[in-house]
Amino acid sequence: MPIPDFQTLMLPILNFCKDQKEHTNRELLEHLAKELSLTESERKELLPSGQQPTFDNRVAWARAHMKMAGLLENPGRGIFRITDRGLAALKQKPIQINLKYLQQYPDYIEAKNRHKGEKPDKMNNGAIQPQTPEEQIEEAYETLRSALTNDILQLLKKAPPVFFEKVVVEVIVKMGYGGSRKDAGRAIGKTGDEGIDGIINEDRLGLDIIYLQAKRWGASVGRPEIQKFAGALLGKKAKKGIFITTSEFTKDAREFAGVIESKIVLIDGEQLAQMMIDFNVGVTSTATYELKRMDSDYFTEE
């Protein structure tokens, strides 16, 4: 089943703690995963940043909110248990415990005001946000990145061939190929047919070479073009090639590239735009936010 949002996890967590014993986060995660019939793949599913499992993140935030409401407490490092208030809440047999439910507790409202500077019931026009803060941040990041990717791609399609050549050179050098920018530019510097062809060094020592072809096209690149490129590789006695386009590759083109002896990497317009973002080509940072979490080991006594 899909991983429940962090608010849906609140009631199962509180029910797990109704035995009034002290529990560790690992015990809780294992219990919930079994109760929810989560697969190993779902357990390993990561947030977009790839820094933390989505399931672990949602469980942590569910616990954090219930702790702010006084339903859970931490009697010691790395352990938690239910409070009398939490037991009282379970006796009411709630159908669900969510952020709206927690607003009945003054402690929770005070904690939200202290941390966010606004009342929980006025956030998002009263709407209940099913995502954890990290998920909200990462979703916003992905939305902005997607919009930036689209803007870059549109400009690449309209740019003159010489500018496209410059972009390709910059990206290749930033990725560590082609030696210096001067070397890469000289190797690729023959333009024509709204594309560029050339040979670049795979490393700075020139121990191996890569044959490159780039097409600033609007139409999809099909199998015939990849076959021509493979033939060019054979003629150069080269085993490796990169084919870059501002459009996309057809299914047949990708399948052909995957079965031939030569190693041909296909980079479509969206991938190229993503690489420009990743390697800071044609983009600039407007703001940097560093997310931190508590280092539990720091607070552990020797």
Let me know: does 206 contact 199? Beta carbons within 8 Å: no
Q: pLDDT value at position 195?
A: 43
Strand pairing of 263-267 and 240-245?
A: parallel
Q: What is the pLDDT of residues 229-238, one digit of tens each?
A: 888 888 777 7
User: Confidence class of residue 123 from pLDDT cuts 50, 70 and 90?
Assistant: very low
Task: For residue 138, give the 3-state DSSP assignment.
Answer: helix
Q: pLDDT value at position 285?
A: 85
Task: For residue 90, give the 3-state DSSP assignment.
Answer: helix
- The CATH classification number of 10-122 equals 1.10.10
Residues facing 190 on adjacent strands: 197
Mean pLDDT of the chain: 83
- Domain segments of the chain: what residues? 10-122, 152-278
* 53-72: average pLDDT: 92
**pLDDT above 80 for 77:** no
CA distance linking residue 7 with residue 96, whole number of Å: 8
User: Token pair for residue 125?
Assistant: 């026009």
- The CATH classification number of 152-278 equals 3.40.1340.10
Percent of the chain past pLDDT 90, that is, above it, reads 44
Percent of the chain past pLDDT 70, that is, above it, reads 84
Reported as type and span, the H/E element at residue 213 is strand 209-215
Q: pLDDT value at position 194?
A: 40
**pLDDT above 80 for 150:** yes
Q: pLDDT value at position 128?
A: 54
Sequence-distant (≥ 6) Cβ neighbours of residue 74 within 8 angstroms: 67, 80
By mean pLDDT, which of 56-70, 137-151, 191-205 is the weakest?
A: 191-205
Q: Write b or e for each residue in 143-153: b if 16 or more Cβ atoms lie within 10 A of its Cβ, otherwise e.
A: eeeeeebeebb
CA distance linking residue 155 with residue 149, whole number of Å: 10
Sequence-distant (≥ 6) Cβ neighbours of residue 66 within 8 angstroms: 10, 13, 14, 72, 86, 97, 102
